[in-house]
Structure 1
Amino acid sequence: MLSSIIRESLNQSVYNVCDTLGVAYSSGPIPIQQPASLEHGDYSTSIALQLAKTLRKAPMVIAELIAAELEQQGNAAGLFSKVEVAAPGFINLSIHWPEWAKRSFDLPTSLGEKVVVEHTSINPNKAAHIGHLRNSCIGDTLVRILRRTGKQVEVHNYVDDLGNQLADTVVGLQNIPLEGDYVRFGDYCWDVYSQVNKAYALEPEMIAKRSDTLHALEEGRGNTAWLGNLVAERIVREHVEEMKGFGINYDLLVWESSIVREGFWSAAFDLLSQTPAFVQETEGKLAGCWVLKQNSGETPTGDAESDEYHADKVLVRSNGILTYTAKDIAYHLWKFGLLEKDFSYSEFSAGLWTTGMTGHTLPYGKANAVINVIDNRQEYPQQMVKQALQVLGYNEQAGKLHHVSYGVVSLSPASAAELGIDVSDGKGSYAMSGRQGIGVKVTDLITLMESTIEESRSDKSGLDSRIIAHAAIRYYLLRFNLGTEIVFDFRQATEISGNTGVYLMYTFARAGSVLSKAEAAGMLQEPGIPVPFPGTPEAAEAALLRHLSAWMDTLQEAGQSLAPNLICTYAHTLATLFNNFYSLCPILKGEADSMRFRVWLTGKFQTTLGDALNVLGLPAPSRM
């Protein structure tokens, strides 16, 4: 990567300066950045300001000494065309672009490191809504980033087929009469789930049916268990198929029932029972419950009065029903290869495997690191899984368990009103609720977006409108900072200009059109022939070059910080800079050398944007 070469060169120069002055140099990260103004170089560092106290010299003096050392070393083998010192002690570096163009920059690989990424994990009791889709888009993009940066990645979709939500749908199917015209089973169950929760409110005695159903699902025998299995499998198939439209795929479905029925929780229970932190309470509100005692001094987040957020986390309730966290702890012990047990695997669909009672032996799990994409409301249960690993002495694994938390998706007042929600209280956003049947189904959003795109297109010979719709929705859900709550608005989501996936794809296709014309005119640069760089690039050319040089650094930063929105920001800026270059610098007109350089720059741009689109899971079309 370019930044690594710059830091290495600066590090050696700083070491030499310190050595000359007789001061021990303690190597640390050298800050570099791209200045806002091109007048301040392509890259800049403030290292001289940081060293002033240690070296007891003015920052400007230190900067001059470092700049002299850089020149003595050959300016990173000719990579720097100019090194300047600016007050109060900055070192500004200008890149020698012809030298940069000759070099190959890529990311270091992580051979042998396996990462398990768990995402989507929608309750298998009804159709998916846009809140679920944000999880899936974030998770899949992280998978793409990690693979692009050299990681071996295994993708899990965890299916909670023993939870309250599925139990409620099963209770509804058995007790709530419902008729209507439905194309998909998940849509039918969406209304069943909503209706049964209304029935609970009107007839509280019905809630006992949920408890009975939970027991039946966990035991795995009889009509109720089979009905639960059939419901879950049918809906999961719909979810998986739905996600394929967004380019989202999985390696393995892990069923919660497999964890319980095949003894994974029993094995985890045996391990935890050997620690003083896991005890069965004998008195008080939690009498009869098995709980995992919190580390002293920690305070749980969330509702302190809820069973889910007791300071002593309940893993097994007094009635013997396991909590979600208990099963999650067993699952994570298996993920890291810490249980002497494994699943059997069978093929769920082409290329997708599932855990089960019988099947093949396959090398799933045994991860070096685990990443879970779960919304910010699940922060505390995720902390408890990490604590369980620590209690068992698996501190290294606990340190490599990462929770990618994100803000939930709510509805704007306009969108909420369109769904029939009372917005007279004037709130800025309205939460979606499956129990109340309030939300935007993924299929409905795709249909709306496809219709909007189709109506706005004059030329329909390019990408299919449905493909564009999937890409536009995916980008909309990715471009926000992870911690941001997305206030979903139908109008904004269906926009096709501005910071959108459509804009990126259109710009990629525009560059492709230019390159096709250049190829027809015989203007493409032959391999091995030096690019005819101008002595002083135009401002639009220089800005585009500088941003292109930052791609690998952006990719690495997104992988390290697990932040897909960084790729969105980079790609949008890149597309904007190219369109500015396209309008200000005639590419296929002018002097021969100028045209060859600009055609080469267009090709470099398209290759880089294509890489970014692939990481984001968007098409790279030849025409829109």
Structure 2
Amino acid sequence: MLSQLISNHLEQSVNQVIRSLGAESAEPVTVALEQPANADFGDYSSNIAMQLAKKLRKAPMTIAGLITAELKQMSITGGLFERIEIAAPGFINMYINWQEWAGYSFELPTGSGEKVIVEHTSVNPNKSMHIGHLRNSCIGDALVRILRKTGYNVEVHNYVDDLGNQLADTVVGLLHVPLAGEHVRFGDYCWDIYAAINKEYALQPERVHKRTDILHELEEGHGNTAWLGQLVAERIVKEHVAEMDNFGIGYDLLVWESSILKEGFWSSAFSLLKETAVFVQETEGKLAGCWILKQPGADGTESDSEDHQKDKVLVRSNGILTYTAKDIAYHLWKFGLLDKDFSYSEFNSGLWTTGLTGGPMAFGKADRVVNIIDYRQEYPQAMVKQALEVLGYGEQAEKLNHVSYGVVSLSPASAAELGIDTSEGKSSYAMSGRQGIGVKVSDLVQLMESSIEAARSDKTGLSSRLIATAAIRYYLLRFNLGTEIVFDFKQATEISGNTGVYLMYTFARAGRVLSKADSPAEQEAVPQFPAQLEKAELALLRQLSTWEDTLYTASRELTPGSICNYAHTLASLFNNFYSNCPILKGEDTSIRFRIWLTLRFQNTLGEVLDVLGLPKPDRM
């Protein structure tokens, strides 16, 4: 990575200056490096001299001069740096020799094969998926691609909660609520059944006990109800998997919550937790009879926050396990900390599933775990981490990462289109499966496909459906993780601006230019660079040079949105270059350079599109 290489040399120079002045200390020096927006102030710049002024008792300009002198003695200066300048009040501005950079081989720090389990999607198997679920899947799949690109061995899990309230409600509905109507898919039928049974609960609260009865029968795992629940869950999961496959999203393993119980995972986890002082059964109060994981407050005493009272319960007084209890057992297995394993069989081609039949496989035993779950599950995720810590698995707790994200809600216009009362004038409206309010993934794809098909004059490139799924995927990825997406039909179906369609169009545009140029071998050879780069050429080179840094940072910070920001800027800079710098006209040296720059751009954008899960079209 370019920035890492410069940082290392800058750090060496700084430490040499500190030693020469006899000012060494145990405290390490952090060298900050930035890329100025204005190229006149350098391709890279550092204010380290100003940071060291007090420590070294010298003027920043003097310190900057000493550091620069050290830098110039290193071999890197004779090649990668064109020049280094000092600017008041003490900035060190470094200018890259782009001709040298073009032939440089930069090593990307990798995961060295470290095994990472990424869990994403994990939708309740009780109805069709909506766009909020799809955001989870798109984030998870992008992170899988980022981690694999940076050298990690990634195993992808989809956790199926086939023992939860949602599936129980759907089963109650199927047994007791008559429903007619046109439904293409079973999941769509269950979407309406789920809303109908919850409407009945609201009208007749006493009927909620049926959910508890069904839950018990599902957990016992025998009899008519358990088989019905399994058939419903399996059918809907097949639909979910097929739907995600349309977006290029796949999994290695389906982990069924029922398997965790049937294989005795919770029994083993329960035995381990009972040996600790913080896992106890309450004997009085609201939680009497419940097994809880005590939560320490800021002063070390137990926290009794009303918000967390229910979340700390692992086993309810009626004996039913909470989601968090099973999740703790699951994570002990993920890290290879249980003396048990699942049996595995093939769910469909290339996708495996846990169950009571099958054989052994090399799943689990992760070095690191990444869970993509929305912000509302932050506390239960913290409890899983706490459970690992109290059991003495501090290292594993450190390597358990929760990627939290904001939910998807509806804009007033989209809510009104779905028949929701918007007279309150709220800025957004939450989706609710219980009320049947939401945008199904299948409906959004159909809407987007129709919009794209109607807007296209040339339909010989990618299919409108493929363009639609790519556009939706990018739309859900480009927001910062913590941002609530206020979904709007009109905005989501736009095909210009910061969109996936714009990126794919730009990739195809570069391809069209290259198809008119010389042979690929001649394009790839690094040509002689112009003595003076045009502004558009320099801006594109600077952006290209930061790809490895952007990718590495995204893999460390688990931020797929930063890849989208990079991609949009890169595509915009190429289109600016395309408009201002005739690529196939002019002097031979200029043409060769610009063709090479176009190829370098297309190769880099191709890697970016791969990481984002978008197609690389020859034409749109």
TM-score band, normalised by shorter chain: over 0.9
Residue-by-residue CA offset, 1:259-298 (whole Å, 9 max, x unaligned) = 0111000000000011111111111111111111112428
Find the counterpart in structure 2 of residue 164 from structure 1: 165
RMSD: 1.6
Distance change >3 Å, CA 402–CA 165, structure 1 → 2: same
Contact persistence 2:389–2:397 (CA under 8 A): yes
225 and 303 in structure 1: CA distance in 2 versus 1, 3 angstrom threshold: farther
Pairing 1:515–2:522 present = no
Contact 2:369 2:401 in 1 (8 A): yes
Separation in structure 2 between the aligned mates of residue 135 and residue 272 of structure 1, nearest angstrom: 31
Q: Are the equivalent residues in 1 in contact too, given 2:544–2:601 (CA < 8 A)?
A: yes
Aligned residue in 2 for 1:534: 530
Percent of aligned positions that are identical: 71
1:276-355 equivalent positions in 2, closer than 5 A = 276-297=277-298, 304-305=305-306, 309-310=308-309, 313-355=312-354
Q: In structure 2, what is the equivalent of residue 17 of structure 1? A: 17
- Contact persistence 1:159–1:255 (CA under 8 A): yes
1:174-207 deviation line (CA, Å, top 9, x unaligned)? 0000011111000000000000000011111211
Number of the residue aligned with 2:377: 378
Which residue identity does 1:603 align to in structure 2?
A: L
TM-fit CA distance, 1:530: 4.1
Letter in 1 for 2:258: S
Q: In the superposition, relative to structure 1, how do residues 239 and 152 fare at CA in structure 2: closer, same or farther (>3 Å)?
A: same
Partner SS for 1:449 = helix
Supply the distance in 2 between the matched residues of 1:526 and 1:422 (Cα, whole angstroms). 59
The aligned runs of 1:136-535 (5 Å cut-off) are: 136-297=137-298, 304-305=305-306, 309-310=308-309, 313-519=312-518, 522=519, 525=522, 529-535=525-531
In 1, Cα distance between equivalents of 2:192 and 2:520? 60
* Aligned residues of 2:109 and 2:552 also touching (Cα < 8 A): no
**Secondary structure, aligned partner of 2:154:** strand
**1:202-257, Cα deviation, whole Å (9 max, x unpaired):** 11121111000000000001100000000000000000000011110000000000
CA distance in 2: counterparts of 1:293 and 1:455, whole angstroms: 58
1:311 positional shift: 7.6
Q: What letter matches 2:125 in structure 1?
A: P
What is the distance in 2 between the residues matched to 1:234 and 1:277?
40
User: For 1:344-367, what per-residue CA distance to the aligned partner results, in whole angstroms no more than 9, with x for missing partners?
Assistant: 000001000000012120011111
Q: Secondary structure at the match of 1:33?
A: coil
Structure 2 residues without counterparts, runs of 5 or longer: none
The residue identity in structure 1 corresponding to 2:124 is N
Asked if the contact 2:113/2:151 (under 8 Å) is kept, the reply is no
| CA distance in 2: counterparts of 1:194 and 1:615, whole angstroms | 37
- Distance in 2, matches of 1:278 and 1:571, equals 48
Q: How many residues align?
A: 618
Deviation at 1:525, TM superposition (A): 2.5
Alignment of 1:29-48 (within 5 A): 29-48=30-49
C-alpha distance after superposition, 1:319-340 (max 9, x if no partner): 0000000000000000000000
**Structure 1 residue ranges, 4+ long, deviating more than 3 angstroms after superposition:** 25-29, 74-77, 302-306
The answer on whether the counterparts of 1:432 and 1:438 sit within 8 Å (CA) in structure 2 is yes
Contact 2:479 2:561 in 1 (8 A): yes
Residues of 2 paired with 1:87 and 1:615: CA distance?
Answer: 41
2:589 is equivalent to residue 565 of structure 1: no
Q: Per the alignment, in what secondary structure is the counterpart of residue 379 of structure 2?
A: helix
Q: Give the SS at the match of 2:235.
A: helix
The equivalences for 1:12-161 within 5 A come to 12-24=12-24, 26-161=27-162
Instruction: Sort the Cα spacing of 1:96 and 1:273 in 2 relative to 1 into closer, same or farther, 3 A.
Output: same
What TM-score do you get using the length of structure 1 for normalisation? 0.97
Partners of 1:429 and 1:552 lie apart in 2 by 38
Compared with structure 1, are the counterparts of its residues 311 and 262 closer, same or farther at alpha carbon in structure 2 (3 Å cutoff)? closer
Match of 1:593 among 589, 594, 597: 589
Describe the superposition over 1:58-103 as per-residue Cα deviations: whole angstroms up to 9, x where unpaired. 1111111111111122444510001011111111111101111111
Looking at structure 1, the residues matched to 78 and 258 of structure 2 have their Cα atoms a distance apart, in angstroms, of: 60
Stretch moving more, 75-84 or 481-490: 75-84
